[in-house]
Amino acid sequence: MQFNDLGLDQRLIKKLNHLAFDKPTEIQKAAIPVGILGKDVLASSKTGSGKTLAFLLPAMQRMYRSKPFTRRDPRVVVLTPTRELAKQVFAQLRTLNAGTPYDGALIVGGENFNDQVKELRKDPMFVIATPGRLADHLEHRSTYLDGLEMLILDEADRMLDLGFEAQLRRIHEAANHRRRQTMMFSATLDHTDVVSIASDMLNAPKRISIGHSAEEHTDITQRFLLCDHLDHKQALLDKILETENYNQVIIFTATRADTDRLTKELNERKLKAVALSGDMNQTQRNAIMSQFERDCHKILVTTDVASRGLDIEKVSHVINFDMPKHAEEYVHRIGRTGRAGNKGDAISLVGPKDWKSFKNVEAFLQQSISFTTIEGLEGKFKGLKPAPKKKFAKKKPTAAKQQDKKTQAKPQAKKKMDKRFYDNMAVGDNVFIPKKKKPVSPSSED
Ligand code: ADP
Ligand code: MG
């Protein structure tokens, strides 16, 4: 099947030929015809499978083929969880709308608000935004969404994880009319928060699911190594970087402090590493990403701020220095490699502190994972035993027993947990905490 068979406008076909995209990917084959018909879509497919074009092409088709509802309001809004991803979607849009009157504005946090107000005054047809900042503009009345034709949520589940539900609902309310088309995309769309918001925002959506989110990504070789402690992790990382034939690497850590520490250590050994974290100002973030994209740095050390969506061709390896807090982030992190049919390697270091997270990943992937070792660096740690389940006596205590209880001395304080077990739950790790909708300060990842 060719792009020609999907009902796309010839002007778009020409552009795709020019961009040297010859065949649609699976998700594009499935989502584009439905998108073009104006139907709501809830779509998932693996990382790197071309979801961006799967929503941008129907959006562009609408520009070519139908009249706007109003002259003033944006016609298409695309929301993404991070500024970096918004920039990337914006760049992809620019390859499609160059030379057309269908201009776009990038509206993300961390950039000058008033400059964005001016941009919005030019009545762009596309707005690519992070939800926090777009909601601020609605509040400020610098834009209106009454005439919005298409609302697209890329990585919808992550926006909910980051606590943007209120902003998403605010944007939905501002554009809540019968003729709006809504599309949600992610590699992981099965969690309950998504189902709930999807049922509010989507109208009889077509569910498109190419593979299952837990399905093994055949272009990515996954390895897991057990580690005893931080020094052991460090030694393994050194060895990996020494022996693997990498092009560019993304290393994920649990916290921003770990990111900084690790970057410093790598640079001391002249490994050309750079750190990216959510608390940097946007100018720094932009500079780092563009340098990394231009291959000025070989290693990007970061947190889950970079786990979603980023498409950097030369990333051959992903290393989880720490396991991710939410199991689905594992799928997204490793998905920074092995994109668009290329091969990639993912290596995860699993220490005692990572054990719970590792087990969650294993459960999420619905498979039993085995470990590999590096000669000379085998450790002692072999995993933790699950805590024995407590048995609760559900029987009602008899009156006599209750009396007994009253007269008894206070029972001894609960036995303290084994220290090692406690340690395993320290900072950065989780005992799988169900995702709460914690509001995130708009300055961090809006
Ligand atoms: P996803 O959002 O599914 O993770 P992206 O939309 O970021 O994936 O696309 C991944 C890469 O694949 C990008 O570099 C993109 O340019 C490329 N790509 C998209 N569609 C095609 C296609 N039909 N043929 C070849 N490459 C494609
Ligand atoms: Mg994507």
Pocket-testing residue among 1, 8, 32, 52, ligand 1, by greatest number of atoms within 8 A of Cβ: 52
Q: Given CATH 3.40.50.300, say whether it is the number of domain 220-365.
A: yes
Between the CA of 83 and the centroid of ligand 2 the distance, in Å, is 13
Cα–Cα–Cα angle for 294, 297, 298, rounded to 5 degrees: 110
pLDDT of the residue at 1: 84
Q: Quote the CA–CA distance of 244 and 240 in Å, as a whole number.
A: 6
Per-residue pLDDT band at 414 (split at 50, 70, 90): very low
Assigned CATH for 3-210: 3.40.50.300
Between the CA of 305 and the centroid of ligand 2 the distance, in Å, is 14
pLDDT of the residue at 392: 64
Q: Which of 22-36, 97-111, 209-223, 390-404 has the lowest mean pLDDT?
A: 390-404
DSSP-assigned letter for residue 126: E
Q: CA torsion, points 263, 357, 187, 442, in degrees to nearest 10?
A: -60
What are the residues whose beta carbons fall under 8 Å from the beta carbon of 397, sequence distance 6 or more? Answer: 405
Q: Quote the CA–CA distance of 310 and 10 in Å, as a whole number.
A: 29
pTM of the model: 0.84
Q: Domain residue spans in the chain?
A: 3-210, 220-365
Of 69 and 192, the one with more pLDDT: 69
Residue written as token pair 């596309």: 126
Render pLDDT for 18-50 as a digit per residue (tens, 0 to 9).
999 989 999 999 999 999 999 999 999 999 999
Q: Quote the CA–CA distance of 304 and 318 in Å, as a whole number.
A: 12
Pocket-testing residue among 13, 16, 311, 332, ligand 1, by greatest number of atoms within 8 A of Cβ: 311
Per-residue pLDDT band at 446 (split at 50, 70, 90): low
Between the CA of 346 and the centroid of ligand 2 the distance, in Å, is 19
Task: Express as a percent the part of the chain with pLDDT over 90.
Answer: 76
> What is the Cα Rg of the chain in Å?
24
Contact residues of ligand 1, CB 6 A cut-off: 21, 23-25, 28, 47-53, 309, 311, 339-340
Q: Quote the CA–CA distance of 59 and 260 in Å, as a whole number.
A: 40
Q: How far is CA 324 from the centre of its chain?
A: 12
Between the CA of 304 and the centroid of ligand 2 the distance, in Å, is 15
Q: Quote the CA–CA distance of 364 and 23 in Å, as a whole number.
A: 32
DSSP string for residues in 318-377? EEESS--SSHHHHHHHHTTSS-TT--EEEEEEE-GGGHHHHHHHHHHHTS----B--TT-
Ligand 1 nearest-atom number relative to CA 46: 3
Ligand 1 nearest-atom number relative to CA 27: 3
Between the CA of 64 and the centroid of ligand 2 the distance, in Å, is 24
Q: Specify which residues 349 forms β-bridges with.
A: 225
Q: What is the mean pLDDT of residues 366-374?
A: 94
Q: Are domains 3-210 and 220-365 of this chain identical in fold?
A: yes
Residue written as token pair 């649609």: 24
Q: Quote the CA–CA distance of 137 and 117 in Å, as a whole number.
A: 8
Per-residue pLDDT band at 188 (split at 50, 70, 90): confident
Render pLDDT for 72-110 as a digit per residue (tens, 0 to 9).
999 999 999 999 999 999 999 999 999 999 999 999 999
Between the CA of 397 and the centroid of ligand 1 the distance, in Å, is 64
pLDDT of the residue at 431: 31
Q: Which amino acid is at 365?
A: L
pLDDT of the residue at 213: 78
Pocket-testing residue among 12, 17, 21, 153, ligand 1, by greatest number of atoms within 8 A of Cβ: 21
Residue nearest to atom 10 of ligand 1 (CA): 48
Between the CA of 307 and the centroid of ligand 1 the distance, in Å, is 16
SS3 193: helix
- In contact, 12 and 61? CB cutoff 8 Å: yes
